[in-house]
Amino acid sequence: MNSINEDTVKAREVVAGYNKYNAETVEVLAKYDPVSKCRYYNKISVDPNAGKFVKEFVKISRKEKNISSRQPKKIKPVKVKTIKEKPIKEVKIKQPKPQIIKPPKPITNKPSKPEEFPQNTLISEIYSLHLEGKTNEEISKIVGYEKRIVSTNIYVRQNQLGIYEPKDKTREKIIDLQNKGYTVSKMAEALNIESNTVSYHLRMINNTKSSEQVESEYKEILAAIKRVSKLNQVNYCYSTWINQANCRMKSNLTTPTRNKKCRELVAQGRLIEDKEGTSLRLGIMYRLPK
């Protein structure tokens, strides 16, 4: 038996496909050529599926022709680069420098006399003239500074020596208003002075307190923290909760002074600062040690 050519097989598949997708196509004989023995037909109606024949057979045959006409690409040889091995450098590990712990400076006693301060400073010159009995106006003309600067330097040196020479009863009035629960702004308004002046006097008052007074303030703050924590049914207390309106402490400390006392208690180990629980809105979170 003769083997069928592949082109013949493909031609038969095309004819079968055409007959399949043109079953409803109606054609009428138009003419006949006796020389070539070819018949020519005119299509009266076309099968709706005729387009599928074009998609399935005509495009496939075109792709096959294109593929067969293409020449195989020449494969270029790939150059393989040889990697040169670099010598491994020795890494020197730096040893940490030994920490030199400096011993704490010995605590020296504060000067208790004007002569124990350095004498080549402006404040010493002003205070020595003040001890000679000269007025602030006269000292101002001698040193060449304003009267305000002269009076400030005198007050600073007096506070360094633990001396307070009141010209009026401003500080006593401030202490009285503080005991009554006045704030700094209300004190300044009542005494008709600047708020900075009130704050200055309050600092001086705190610096001159005895150790018994300071300890009583510490205990009052700790008691207020414990009371507010228990009231809120928690084991912590924010710094904003410890205020004069909520706690009504006898010491009537200002907010900056109260915060300073809390930091001192933390340094002493009598209060714990919780940095993770600290909030910008509520302030520092404190806990009482167990």
pLDDT digits (tens, 9 = 90+) for 183-198: 888 888 988 888 888 8
What confidence score (pLDDT) does residue 265 get? 92
CATH topology of domain 167-208: Arc Repressor Mutant, subunit A (1.10.10)
Q: Residue 59 and residue 53: Cα distance in Å, rounded?
A: 9
pLDDT tens readout for residues 205-229: 777 777 888 888 888 889 888 888 8
Q: What does the pLDDT average to over 39-65?
A: 69
Q: What is the pLDDT of residue 271?
A: 92
pLDDT at residue number 71:
61
End-to-end CA distance of the chain: 108
Q: In this predicted structure, what is the pLDDT of residue 135?
A: 86
Q: Is the pTM of this model over 0.85?
A: no
User: Does domain 209-290 bear CATH number 1.10.10?
Assistant: yes
The predicted structure's pLDDT at residue 1: 44
More confident site: 151 or 179 = 151
**Bigger pLDDT: 174 or 238?**
238
**pLDDT classification of 66: cutoffs 50, 70, 90:** low
- Of residues 99 and 258, the one with the higher pLDDT is 258
Q: How far apart are CA 221 and CA 240, in angstroms?
A: 13
Distance CA 46, CA 54 (A): 13
Express each pLDDT in 97-112 by its tens digit: 665 656 555 545 667 7
Residue with tokens 């009076």: 151
Judge residue 22's burial from the number of C-beta atoms within 10 Å of its C-beta, 0-12 exposed, 13-18 middle, 19 or more buried: middle
Copy the structure tokens of residue 60.
């496939």
